[in-house]
Amino acid sequence: MARLNLLEETRFEKLPVTVYSDEYVASVKVAQRIAELIRYKQGRNEKAVLGLATGATPVKVYSELVRLHREEGLSFRNVITFNLDEYYPMQPTAVQSYVTFMNENLFDHIDINKNNVHIPDGTLPLERIHDYCLDYERKIESVGGLDLQLLGIGRTGHIGFNEPGSAPNSGTRLVTLDDLTRRDASRDFGGKENVPRKAITMGIGTIFKAREIILMAWSGKKAPIIKKAVEGEISGDVPATYLQLSDNVEFVLDQDAASELTRFDTPWLVKDCVWDDTQIKKAVIWLSETVKKPILKLTEEDYNNHGMAQLITEKGTAYEINIDIFNKLQSTITGWPGGKPNADDRRRPERAEPARKRVVIFSPHPDDDVISMGGTFIRLVDQGHDVHVAYQTSGNTAVWDDDVLRYMEFAIDFNQSIGQDTDHLENIYEDMRGFLENKQPNQLDTQEIRDVKGFIRKSEAIAGARYAGLDDDHIHFMALPFYETGKTVKKPVTDIDVELTIELLQKVKPHQVFAAGDFADPHGTHIVCFNIVLAALSRLRETEEWAKDCWLWMYRGAWHEFATHEIEMAVPLSPQEVERKRNAIFKHQSQKDYPVFPGDDAREFWVRAEERNRETAKNYDDLGLANYEAMEAFVKWRF
């Protein structure tokens, strides 16, 4: 019976999928399977031939293999490896090369014979690549073929660098990279313009010959493409769908990457559900959106025709369920994000008392506060709450180099205008100009340049917070140490980061904390900063009474938005408030027009914010609730 239930749950899935709680558990399991293969081959005095992938996905697999080598004696002397791909052109000593990646993450830490390591050569002259690729195929065949091929998946659906349009029988070859693939790689190269346009990759036909294929994917960012690869029709538009034709493939996912598969996203379509409040709310909103009716107009026929007959059987009539969910959604809407004084707050998102709350808004970068919750920020101040804003990082990596020269030129001119000697400033300026003229992609800036970039972000943040109505002593710059590397790759979080956060919280003793829960941030800063806030509050709750009564609200907007069923507080904005929010965002001039790290969304940050806020309001309107100009959305964290 259990097997039948599983088949029913996975009937939309066209290939085997294994889901683990998180990427750490999944990576350990994959590493153990690789280790078992290696040991099995060792016992037969045979070579284990591995196809290896690069990128963030397999890093923890390689880390576990290194641990198994160091602590459990796993030897790689019998292992031969072939890497999937390499950028072209690419020097093997470059930071971005896959030779560097594999050495740093695996090969330099194990006992593999380097003669058994094969990575496509990104230094070849163009006329030699065709023959080189044929030879790469012959080398794989000469050692008996790939025993196991590890894969990641790109957001275009590429496996290796087999971009949309790749043929299912393709071999190793030179390919042109998709624009989205290059955008995703831009942070490693200091800008998309520095990402190579081509790559050498094993073909889909080459991958198919492996006796075992494991495709891994972590995080919600991969969820949409995983759904297409697993449940979609086979298509050259999504090369990973070709894996549906293999009998030897398995997708290994964490819960976030699997979240859009039917059995997790809309489980009522494939099985009987446990209908708790959260599931009911999600399902009814989904049904309303699917049939394009307001919630109060949904009928029993709508429920029955869309896999939700069990719900009305267990929980009452469609009319009763509709009313209940409508009221719950209605109660999320409030014009009083700090709580409405002297009001019945049993159905309101925030408490009525105290009427004047102490509030800390944590902003990972110096503009996340106004981009993601600028309207609520301004409203909290307007309604008389004691609001503080804390900028957790300097954001100094996200400023264009020419802005540094512009600000230095201003400083020199200003000093001259008031009769100050500018020789020292001019010498620093010339050093900066010389450095920037010869700067390599992703090269670490000098300390002076990093300082100026930080000062630019700081002055903009002050202007934005002042516009929102704050006094200067309520504006805090934390410069958390984990961020201050000058590089895009940051240091690990330490106790110092948490202690600095505890110190600020102890000083303010807030009733409300707002923190960025926008974990789709491609740079990872948001989730790191959120975890620091969470760690600080968790510690304080052990000893401080005020902390036990401090509510933590998560906001989004810079990179993503909460789904409607997740929202617990929706703050409506009038057209005038939307304009005030826009003006606050405009204070961040270094991030306007085209920021250094725009992610995969080409819209300016203020446009993203406005359109997402309007979309949230429209979603509420389509469900049959009041029609507002825009809405900012929040979810409460439960300790």
At 559, which CATH number?
Answer: 3.40.50.10320
- pLDDT tens digits, 207-241: 999 999 999 999 888 999 999 999 999 999 999 99
pLDDT at 3: 40
d(CA 612, CA 618): 10
β-bridge pairing 386-391 and 213-217: unpaired
Residue 6: pLDDT band by 50, 70, 90 thresholds? low
Greater model confidence, 34 or 592: 34
Mean pLDDT of 386-410: 95
Query: Does residue 240 sit in the same domain as residue 270?
Result: no
One domain, residues 254 and 269: no
- What is the CA angle 633-23-492, rounded to 5? 80
| CB crowding 182-219: b at 16 or more within 10 Å, else e | bbbbbbbbbeeeebbebbbbbbbbbbbbbebbbbbbbb
Residues 6+ apart with CB under 8 A from 80: 47, 48, 49, 50, 116, 118, 143
Residue 268 has pLDDT above 90, yes or no: yes
4, pLDDT greater than 90: no
**Average pLDDT rounded to a whole number, residues 426-439:** 96
Tens-place pLDDT, residues 459-483: 999 999 999 999 999 999 999 999 8
What is the number of alpha carbons within 13 Å of residue 130 lying toward its C-beta? 1
Answer yes or no: is 430 within a domain: no
389 with 534, same domain: the answer is yes
- How big is the CA angle at 429 (ends 427 and 433), to the nearest 5 degrees? 120
* Tokens coding 445: 């800036």
Contacting residues for 254 by C-beta, under 8 A, at least 6 apart: 19, 20, 21, 22, 23, 25, 26, 217, 218, 219
Task: Classify residue 314: in a domain, yes or no.
Answer: yes
Final residue of a domain: which of 260, 290, 317? 260
Q: Is residue 352 part of a domain?
A: no
Do 256 and 305 fall into the same domain?
no
Domain residue limits at 278: 265-332
Query: Position 282: which residue type?
Result: K
Higher per-residue confidence, 593 vs 387: 387
Report the C-alpha gap between 572 and 332 in whole angstroms: 10
Q: Which of 260, 282, 298 is the last residue of a domain?
A: 260
Give the orientation angle of helix 605-622 with respect to helix 368-382, to 10 degrees.
Answer: 60
> Are 465 and 556 in a shared domain?
yes
* Mean pLDDT on 348-370: 97
Answer whether residue 523 shows pLDDT above 80. Answer: no
> Each residue of 150-190: pLDDT tens digit?
999 998 899 999 999 999 999 999 999 998 888 888 878 87
Do 256 and 270 have their domain in common? Answer: no
162 & 127 share domain:
yes
pLDDT attached to residue 599: 66
Torsion of CA 373, 375, 381, 387, to 10 degrees: 0
- Identify whether residues 252 and 283 lie together within a single domain: no
Does residue 8 lie in a domain region? no
Q: Based on the domain organization, do 254 and 367 belong to the same domain?
A: no
**Residue closest to 372 by CA, chosen among 183, 636, 630, 186:** 630
pLDDT band at 594 (very low <50, low <70, confident <90, very high): confident
pLDDT number for residue 2:
41
Q: Sheet containing 85-88: give its strands across.
A: 85-88, 198-201, 173-176
Residues 320 and 456 occupy one common structural domain: no
Domain for residue 436, yes or no?
A: no
Residues tagged active-site: 163
CATH number, domain of 74, equals: 3.40.50.1360
For residues 371 and 220, what is the distance between their CA atoms, to the nearest angstrom?
22
Question: CB neighbours (10 Å) of residue 576?
Answer: 9
pLDDT at position 336: 98
pLDDT category of residue 1 using cuts at 50, 70 and 90: very low
**DSSP assignments along 84-118, one per residue:** SEEEES--TTSTTSHHHHHHHHTGGGS---GGGEE
Quote the pLDDT of residue 109. 98
- Distance of alpha carbon 170 from alpha carbon 162, whole angstroms: 9
The domain tally of the chain equals: 3
The verdict on residue 4 lying in a domain is no
Q: Report which secondary-structure segment, H or E, holds 174.
A: strand 173-176
Domain co-membership, 198 together with 211: yes
Does residue 324 register a pLDDT over 90? Answer: yes
| CA atoms in the 13 A half-sphere facing the CB of 467 | 22
Contact 98, 62 (CB under 8 A): no
d(CA 248, CA 212): 5
The phi and psi torsions of 422 (rounded to 5 degrees) equal -120, 10
pLDDT of residue 308: 97
Q: What element of type H or E holds 312? A: helix 309-315
**How many percent of the chain have pLDDT more than 90?**
87
**One domain, residues 311 and 372:** no
Domain final residue pick, 216, 240, 260: 260
- What pairs with residue 592 in β-bridges? none
The reported pLDDT for the residue numbered 155 is 86
Residue 393 scores a pLDDT above 90: yes
Let me know if residue 425 belongs to a domain. Answer: no
> Among candidates 368, 370, 362, which has minimal Cα distance to 392?
362
**Does the structure show a pLDDT above 80 at 486?**
no
Specify the 3-state DSSP secondary structure of 423: helix
Mean predicted confidence (pLDDT) in 442-446? 89
